[in-house]
Chain A
């Protein structure tokens, strides 16, 4: 973590100030309904430090993350632009990195992306010229060396704060931290984890990250997704690989009247936020309230995370 800001984004400054950062997430719509997107984002404004805009998440076509990031900028909301390597080769990706920087987008999350077989165009061709680790390396090379992957000199370097994701719950379990370390070695400065439900396994992941010195080199944000319903909890448990939602959470959700389930889900999320923030090496929370943006102010308030820090 060098003395000068690498991008000077609000997110980078908050991390650097030693305060815990909070990011949210806002998925662009499956159409170009800008008003709907802005409406969702309005619940995040002022309640989180920066907002992720997803890049065709789960391989479902939505309006592009660069456009969404630009709209957020115009709203006064700092974007974290997600970029996946599934849909573009190194020419397209580098072009978008430069374009994003030219638009004033300062945070980039480098991802490989979900396989297209899960999305709405399973017959599509995928690209995968690079993977997420290479994409992070590309951004770093462009920013710090002023060069493209080919070695071509850039006219103007993209000032980007480099992020990536990590899934502590996939297999092989003992390799997950090492893989996060590879991302950090490639240039990643902040990590947002997959949704955490199995706190015990996450605690082990963080212990290993601390032991390996990774928390000294990178800001790690714990990914929290509030459970909206018993159905959602069961779905996550059964169908999302590695997401073992503990029975204790499901029991809590089942133990309240139907009209109180959502509130209980929020209580669980708040408990998790507190638990994660108390862990050594956690630099912030990434709150993914999927299609539940309107409840973010309430969750953030309940977690005692307001007001958000002010940085220059």
Chain B
């Protein structure tokens, strides 16, 4: 899923400083699961914004709504009634959400209330890690089911580099496991260590962000 983290309230306050009435829009998708943009967080953020503005002697009115999803136009639609009375929208969906809002409401300013950090998942309560960079041509089958593109700081396909020490990557001040150590251990478990000896050559990055904006088309589903 898409992982995000809240922006500092001060940053959001600065974005909306010229407005008196804003919509705070959440999303019941990924950002609800990672506790950053769901119904609960909408209520908390709206309250924080109102309190801060009241303290500053500049009252703010908030209109709150949490969409089923913000990455689908039909689920943005329910915001219409709120947006017509508001001066701006703060979306706390992943950065897809604010852009869908922007598309639907051409004359209403839209601001992101969270930072979208990665495609990943929870590894323990309150901790989410990145697992995928959406390079567009998955190669993890060659690496014991682990992704060196995402999880190696240098995106090595022929790792580990000289910065791998006792299973830890030199980047990240001891907090990041060396994915190449994990790949090594995994291939060893699978009896496939010979795969570590293969020289891996150039990756085709044209399916990644580098190739330009990506559009996924399923002809059979198109209307």
Contact = CB atoms under 8 A, between A and B. Distances in A.
B162 interface: yes
Interface stretch (A163-171, A226-234, A249-257, A286-294): A163-171
Contacts of B164: 170-172, 241
Nearest to A185: B199
B196 interface: yes
Contact of B154 (A128, A165, A241): A128
Interface stretch (B13-21, B59-67, B79-87, B200-208): B200-208
Interface in A128-142: 128-134, 137
Nearest to A133: B158
A171 B178 CA distance: 10
Contacts of A186: 199
Interface residues of B, number: 29
Interface string A154-187: 0000000000011101111001001101100110
Contacts of B184: 172, 175
B160 interface: yes
In this complex, the interface size class of chain A, counting residues with CB under 8 Å from chain B, is 35 or more
B130 interface: no
Interface in B110-138: none
A242 B160 CA distance: 13
Contacts of A90: 202
Given A130-B202, A134-B201, A137-B199, A171 B166 contact: yes
A117 interface: yes
Given A131-B158, A182-B158, A115 B170 contact: yes
B156 interface: yes
A20 interface: no
B145 interface: no
B51 interface: no
Contact of A117 (B157, B171, B196, B197): B171
A172 B158 contact: no
Given A117-B171, A171-B166, A175-B184, A112 B199 contact: no
B165 A242 contact: yes
A171 B158 contact: no
Interface in B180-212: 181, 184, 196-203, 205
B153 interface: yes
A149 interface: yes
Contacts of B178: 171
B163 A115 contact: yes
Contacts of A172: 160, 164, 181, 184
A126 interface: yes
Contacts of B201: 134, 137
- Counting from the closest, the 8 A-B pairs by CB-CB distance are A167-B162, A241-B165, A133-B158, A128-B155, A170-B162, A131-B156, A115-B171, A241-B170
Given A114-B163, A175-B184, A181-B197, 17 more contacts: A86-B154, A90-B202, A115-B153, A117-B153, A126-B154, A128-B155, A129-B202, A129-B205, A131-B155, A134-B158, A167-B162, A170-B160, A171-B164, A171-B165, A172-B164, A172-B181, A185-B199
Interface of A: 86, 90, 112-115, 117-118, 126, 128-134, 137, 149, 165-167, 169-172, 175, 178-179, 181-182, 185-186, 194, 241-242
24 contacts: A86-B154, A112-B156, A113-B154, A115-B153, A115-B163, A117-B153, A128-B155, A131-B155, A131-B159, A133-B199, A134-B158, A134-B200, A134-B201, A137-B199, A171-B160, A171-B164, A171-B178, A172-B184, A175-B160, A178-B196, A181-B197, A182-B198, A185-B199, A241-B162
Interface of B: 153-167, 170-171, 178, 181, 184, 196-203, 205
